[in-house]
Structure 1
Amino acid sequence: MLPVPKLAVYGFQHVLAFYAGAVIVPILLASAIGLSEQQLIHLINADLFTCGIASIIQAQGFWKVGVRLPLLQGVTFTAVSPMIAIGMAAGGGTDGLLVIYGSVIVAGLATFLIAPWFGRLIKYFPPVVTGSVITIIGIALLPVGALDAVGGGAAKDPTNGRYLAYALGTLALIVIMQRIFRGFLATIAVLAGLVVGTLVAWALGDAHFDAVAGSAWVGVTSPFYFGLPKFSIAAIISMIVVMLITAVETTGDVFATGEIVDKKVGREDISRALRADGLATTLGGVLNSFPYTCFAENVGLVRLTRIKSRYVVVAAGVIMILLGMLPKAGAIVAGIPHPVLGGAALAMFATVAVVGIQTLSRVDFNDHRNIVIVGTSLGLAMLVTAQPDIAKAVPEWAQIILGSGITLGSLTAILLNILFHHVGKGRGAAVAGTPGHGEIRLNRVNEMSQEEFVAAFGQLFQGPVWAAENAYTRRPYADTQALRRAFQDALFGATPEQQRDLMTHYPALGSAAVAEGETGQMSARDQATVGLTRLADEDSDEFLRVTGEYERKFGFPLIVCVRDMHSREEILHQGEIRLHNSPAQEHAAALIEIAKIASHRFDDLVAGANPIHAARLQRFENL
């Protein structure tokens, strides 16, 4: 909880970054289904008011509702086209709006009820999926920022030098403030960019606030302002599909924010977030608004400012509620010129993509399946983003998927991950090798001679093979996890002399022997995951210093499971800390790291034996 003045400033910054995206949905919908200007004003007020409530629910949370992360809620763009289709099918105008609200209410309740079930699907969202989805969200939103940068909507003019100057000037100010200032001033860089950019545009006659005079001082939205909702089965089904797709986007935003604030996101977190989406969507239908989801724009703002307090979003929610009740204040915020907003949006959307890239850095791209998943999902997302009219080539029911690069790319990443990493396991426990190239299944493992067993699994450890020999004595194995535990028991049940001898066979981190393949493919693969096989001279010298000091003190190399590390700096930092430990503690620490390394290598063998996995690189052909 930050001091109230900071909460107010940071919250207002979130509102400014969010505002244009918040009001665009009612503007587009009102224009498409033929609502009056007065009805549009009420829709905007209702949207802001409900956005504030929804954001407080998500960030503050209560009971099992709300993920309690700095996630701001807004109307989902995914619902725009379906809502227009529903409204026009019902005759447009108020009649169409009431059918829309009926479908929104039911879809919100359905989302609330299925949230726990959806949370159980978290195993289908490993880093290869979440990283792809987060990256796609950031990249797919960049054209939105670019459109604002050249004037936005019908006013766009890419050749207008003033538009370009406003956008690049706002972006430059944000970058300069991030570089020069520290602390509070650095964290309000986006707010400062928006305010200064707007003032400059106003001084030059390019920012207008004429709507302020014509707006009322107070305007309160009332439930069912346009009349009681109407319910249509077709409309309800369409909106439930929209909410299922939105759940995927929300899941990506929750993971992205979890990465930023360094919180592990679990199954219950996803369920809480989706319950908040469902409750907010139901409230939206009652309070004359629309379906809600987490806003990616503000995920980028959290990353850019590094302000991780969820109470900042609560403050933003309070401000939005006030704006929803004060149309004049909303009209002032609406006066921010599109090019100024576009300059800030480019920074925020690109930052979301960077978070996705950070997540993808934990993915094993030596596994060709992951390359296919990321490449295909990104490619299809960019196809739809670059050529949005391609959706017109398919029937209307399919346009909900092809109408959004985020939707298409996200679903592609999820489905390909299931296809490559989950489908086919029912054929039995394949535990090593590749199909058609020496695949080894569990029943075959239980029938192996000791020599065959050691040949297949001795590579889980460096040097001596006694761990594999001891694990062999624990046959038969009921499943692959029993086999995995056999290796763990063999390692920790050995004599201290055997354990120490094993430690001495592990290569030094970042050594030339590993990079040149002299220590085996497994070591090279382990260390390549964080770039230790391609160190620059300066980095190589630093690793040589730390690992040398460690080995001189303890008599065996510094052993770290580098696949669990995020960067080379983190590995060096751990090495520096462990230099101060006692020999007994380091003996135990080294054993744990060896067990982690062996577990990752075991996973590689299991993945290599997946029945649908092609014989990539024929890495285990000799098995």
Structure 2
Amino acid sequence: MVPLPQMFAYGLQHVLAMYAGAVAVPIIIAQAMHLPIEDLIRLITADLFTCGIATLLQTLGFGYIGGRIPLIQGVTFASVGPMIMIGTQHDMPTIYGAIIVAGLFTFLVAPFFSRLIRLFPPVVTGTIITIIGINLLPVAVNWMGGGIGNPEFGSITNIALGVATFVIVVLTYRFGKGFIGNLAILIGLILGTVIAMFVGITNFDEVGKAQWISVVQPFYFGLPVFDVASIISMIIVMLVVMVETTGDSIAVGEIVDKKIGQKELAAVLRADGLSTMIGGVLNSFPYTAFAQNVGLIAVTRVKSRFVVAMSGIILIVLGLFPKLAAIVASIPNAVLGGAGIAMFGMICASGIRSLGKVRFDNNYNLMLVAISIGVSMIPLAAPHFYDQFPSGAQIICKSGITAGSIMAVILNMLFNGFGYKTVNEGNAAARKYRHFTRFKGYPKHFYQ
């Protein structure tokens, strides 16, 4: 627990880092469904409100729900394709019916899925953390260019603004002391936005148009409709989400020095399931941990879950006061990109640090890491590589994080067997040698 003013500043820093990703899904769905602007605003405020609730569930927890670790929750991008498909074939109530059932499915299978934690030894977790960072870095690069679809993408102004923000973050991190140094990302975002105002990039027009207060209305689009095919497609999405959440949870556990075992993972997944059910009721979407904020924890070294809980409170307030949300939304993409380079790069560095503790001699671990990272890079190098695959397969393959994580788990089972024991103890010869030294009565430290 840190003092309240610092907690608010750190929490706001998390919100600013994840805001663009949080509002992107409602915008995409509203455009695909040709919804009017008032419905778009309603989707965004409902999403922010539910993000806050989901984050509080995950960080504070109650009973067997919530991992009680600093994981900020947001809408998963894995759900975008299936939701558009369901919405264009049916309507919004069918989307929410599928989301509610998929959330219930996640909640119920969490204790069974969590048993797979034994398939995530250090060589797998380190690989997954590295993959997460690698797959997020292109997001930061696109932000720095001005955002995909921006007619000014790659302009000197956007790139210079992103570089200026990055330099501010680095200098603040290097020369800032204590509290100031930990706010490097927030200071970079604020000063970058101020610079953007002077060069005429920041646009506050939407702030004046936004309402002051907006109340989230459950089932605004109508009572949910339960279509079997739609439900199955959304359950597939949630299976993918559970794999990603497992990787994010282990990544956070590595950073905050908390072991994520079967019990802890089950609690994290239950929170995902309950949050997704709540999202279906409040006109929002499926929820999962936001990987970009994992990097922020590594950068700031602020490991308190109460800081991220404060982020949840801020998100709830933004969901109730659209005008405040519009102010945050005015941060230019180029500014976010400059800060994102540092955040997402730090995730890569955390993964490399984890892999530094893994043995690579006389085993297959090097090949495991190489192939897993290579597979995760396919959708980055060729975004249309899997376009001819069935829609269900595309959900898995087009997410580099998911595809790489699954490959790492499969290769670990193939090369090293099941669980931690085989990986940590090495090859059969080493095990026989240790057994021999014990038999001969050598002191314990000899064979360690």
TM-score (normalizing by structure 2): 0.95
CA shift for structure 1 position 227: 0.7
1:98 maps onto 2:90 in alignment: no
Paired AA for residue 149 in structure 2 = A
Percent pairwise identity: 50
Paired AA for residue 15 in structure 1 = V
Q: Counterparts of 1:304-319 in structure 2 under 5 Å?
A: 304-319=299-314
Structure 2 CA distance for partners of 1:104 and 1:367, relative to 1, 3 Å = farther
- Matched residue of 1:391: which SS? coil
1:154 to 138, 149, 152: 149
Q: Counterparts of 1:42-441 in structure 2 under 5 Å?
A: 42-90=42-90, 96-155=91-150, 157-422=152-417, 432=428
Q: Is the 8 A contact 1:66 1:272 kept in 2?
A: yes
**C-alpha separation between the residues in 2 aligned to 1:31 and 1:175?**
37
**C-alpha separation between the residues in 2 aligned to 1:220 and 1:346?**
36
Q: Is the 8 A contact 1:222 1:287 kept in 2?
A: yes
**C-alpha separation between the residues in 2 aligned to 1:303 and 1:433?**
38
**C-alpha separation between the residues in 2 aligned to 1:106 and 1:337?**
37
Paired AA for residue 279 in structure 2 = G
**C-alpha separation between the residues in 1 aligned to 2:190 and 2:367?**
44
Query: CA offsets, 1:61-106, max 9 Å, x none?
Result: 110111111110000111111111121121xxxxx22111111101
Q: Is the 8 A contact 1:12 1:319 kept in 2?
A: yes
Match of 1:580 in 2: none
Q: Is the 8 A contact 1:385 1:404 kept in 2?
A: no
Q: Counterparts of 1:494-505 in structure 2 under 5 Å?
A: 494=441, 499=442
- Matched residue of 1:38: which SS? helix
Q: Is the 8 A contact 1:177 1:185 kept in 2?
A: yes
CA shift for structure 1 position 153: 2.1
Match of 2:421 in 1: none
CA RMSD of aligned residues (A): 1.8
Paired AA for residue 175 in structure 2 = I
**C-alpha separation between the residues in 1 aligned to 2:249 and 2:362?**
26
**C-alpha separation between the residues in 2 aligned to 1:325 and 1:137?**
32
- Matched residue of 1:293: which SS? strand
Structure 2 CA distance for partners of 1:342 and 1:110, relative to 1, 3 Å = same
Could you say which structure has the larger radius of gyration? 1
**C-alpha separation between the residues in 2 aligned to 1:44 and 1:225?**
13
2:446 to 591, 594, 613: 594
Structure 2 CA distance for partners of 1:190 and 1:282, relative to 1, 3 Å = same
**C-alpha separation between the residues in 2 aligned to 1:157 and 1:371?**
42
Q: Is the 8 A contact 2:147 2:153 kept in 1?
A: no
Match of 2:422 in 1: none
Paired AA for residue 257 in structure 1 = V
**C-alpha separation between the residues in 2 aligned to 1:194 and 1:53?**
25
Query: CA offsets, 1:203-230, max 9 Å, x none?
Result: 2211011001111100011111111011
CA shift for structure 1 position 157: 4.1
CA shift for structure 1 position 159: 4.0
**C-alpha separation between the residues in 2 aligned to 1:280 and 1:367?**
44
**C-alpha separation between the residues in 2 aligned to 1:281 and 1:147?**
28
Paired AA for residue 393 in structure 2 = A
TM-score (normalizing by structure 1): 0.69
**C-alpha separation between the residues in 1 aligned to 2:85 and 2:446?**
58
Paired AA for residue 21 in structure 1 = G
Paired AA for residue 101 in structure 2 = V
Paired AA for residue 391 in structure 1 = Y
Query: How many positions carry a matched residue from both structures?
Result: 441
**C-alpha separation between the residues in 2 aligned to 1:322 and 1:433?**
60
- Matched residue of 1:61: which SS? coil
**C-alpha separation between the residues in 2 aligned to 1:66 and 1:223?**
23
Paired AA for residue 336 in structure 1 = I
Task: Tell which has more relative contact order, 1 or 2 (C-alpha 8 A, sep 6+).
Answer: 2
- Matched residue of 1:65: which SS? coil
Q: Is the 8 A contact 1:7 1:311 kept in 2?
A: yes
Paired AA for residue 350 in structure 1 = G
Q: Is the 8 A contact 1:206 1:337 kept in 2?
A: yes
Paired AA for residue 62 in structure 2 = F
**C-alpha separation between the residues in 2 aligned to 1:383 and 1:156?**
27
**C-alpha separation between the residues in 1 aligned to 2:345 and 2:3?**
30
**C-alpha separation between the residues in 2 aligned to 1:264 and 1:410?**
19
Match of 1:32 in 2: 32
CA shift for structure 1 position 279: 0.5
Q: Is the 8 A contact 1:223 1:288 kept in 2?
A: yes
Q: Is the 8 A contact 1:135 1:352 kept in 2?
A: yes
CA shift for structure 1 position 356: 1.1
CA shift for structure 1 position 388: 1.1
CA shift for structure 1 position 130: 1.2
**C-alpha separation between the residues in 2 aligned to 1:325 and 1:225?**
16
Q: Is the 8 A contact 1:390 1:402 kept in 2?
A: no
Moved more, 138-147 or 27-36: 27-36
**C-alpha separation between the residues in 1 aligned to 2:124 and 2:273?**
23
Structure 1 unaligned regions, length at least 5? 91-95, 424-430, 435-455, 461-466, 469-486, 500-590, 598-623
CA shift for structure 1 position 239: 0.9
- Matched residue of 2:74: which SS? strand
Q: Is the 8 A contact 1:147 1:156 kept in 2?
A: no
Q: Is the 8 A contact 1:150 1:156 kept in 2?
A: no
CA shift for structure 1 position 399: 1.1
Query: CA offsets, 1:378-435, max 9 Å, x none?
Result: 1111111121111212122211112211111111111221222228xxxxxxx9469x
Paired AA for residue 419 in structure 1 = L
**C-alpha separation between the residues in 1 aligned to 2:377 and 2:356?**
21
Q: Counterparts of 1:398-547 in structure 2 under 5 Å?
A: 398-422=393-417, 432=428, 457=432, 459-460=433-434, 468=436, 488=438, 490=439, 494=441, 499=442
CA shift for structure 1 position 368: 4.3
